[in-house]
């Protein structure tokens, strides 16, 4: 059976090709309105707090190493299965697990933030770095050194003390605070907590229109 769509048009609409006129009117209207596109990369976008960009492994300022304790929660929760961790534990009683390698295949990541949310020590974060362009595929397969380097770069450009930077995705929502591990109980600015969270249209109402 053949189904053919026949738009209903009056005689005048057919003679004057109403759709073409409508299209031209729309083009003319847009010609004089403010552009909504951006000339990237010359013009950089305004990145909001909590943007889910390149991953970073937080460097512990006391040890100079990653804060990761090798619990594997991030690798288990990751829906893309793009986190690989290798660790070992020394035989001495009371010794901590040592992370030998931590890798993220960023091209497979869907930026859900689950790894960040589930980490009990706030060791893995999504930074506000959004530029991934590369001619070398291997550079998008983040090694532990690259992830630590990402944190160093991110911490260096923060406009507030690193300790005060609390990415909203670090704190699982809807759970009683006393059930969360201590690092998850860091104070969160009201605009990032529960009902008062300011995102989308609410964010624009608070901060005005974005620069384009």
Binding interface with ligand SF4 (CB under 6 A): 68-74, 77-80, 82-83, 85, 104, 109-115, 118-119, 121, 123-124
142 touches 150 (CB < 8 A) = yes
Q: Which is nearer to ligand SF4, 121 or 155 (CB)?
A: 121
CB of 103 to ligand SF4, least distance (A): 11
At closest approach, how far in Å is the CB of 115 from ligand SF4? 3
Q: Which is nearer to ligand SF4, 38 or 186 (CB)?
A: 186
The structure tokens listed for 23 are 């299209």
Q: At 117, give phi and psi (nearest 5°).
A: -70, -35
b vs e for 9-23, b when ≥16 Cβ sit within 10 Å of the residue's Cβ?
A: eeeeeeeeeeeeeee
Q: Which three-class secondary structure state does DSSP give residue 4?
A: coil
**Rounded CA separation 3/5 (Å):** 7
Nearer to ligand SF4, 122 or 192 (CB): 122
Whichever of 16 and 132 has its CB closer to ligand SF4, that residue is 132
Q: How far is the CB of 60 from ligand SF4 (least distance, A)?
A: 11
């Amino acid at each position: 059976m053949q189904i053919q769509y026949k738009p209903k048009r009056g005689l005048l609409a057919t003679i004057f090709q109403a759709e073409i006129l409508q299209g031209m009117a729309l083009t003319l209207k847009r010609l004089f309105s403010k552009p909504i596109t951006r000339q990237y990369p010359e013009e950089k976008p305004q990145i909001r707090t909590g943007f889910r960009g390149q991953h970073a492994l937080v460097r512990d300022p006391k040890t100079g190493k990653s804060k990761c304790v090798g619990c594997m929660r991030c690798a288990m929760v990751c829906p893309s299965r793009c986190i690989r961790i290798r660790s070992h534990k020394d035989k001495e009683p009371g010794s901590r697990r040592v992370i030998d390698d931590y890798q993220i295949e960023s091209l497979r990541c869907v930026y859900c933030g689950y790894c960040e949310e589930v980490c009990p020590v706030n060791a893995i974060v999504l930074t506000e770095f959004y530029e991934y362009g590369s001619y070398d595929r291997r550079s998008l397969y983040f090694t532990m050194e690259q992830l630590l380097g990402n944190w160093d770069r991110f911490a260096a450009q923060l406009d507030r003390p690193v300790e005060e930077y609390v990415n909203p995705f670090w704190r699982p929502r809807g759970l009683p605070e006393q059930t969360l591990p201590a690092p998850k109980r860091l104070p969160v600015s009201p605009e990032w907590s529960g009902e008062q969270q300011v995102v989308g249209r609410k964010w624009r109402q608070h901060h005005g229109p974005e620069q384009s």
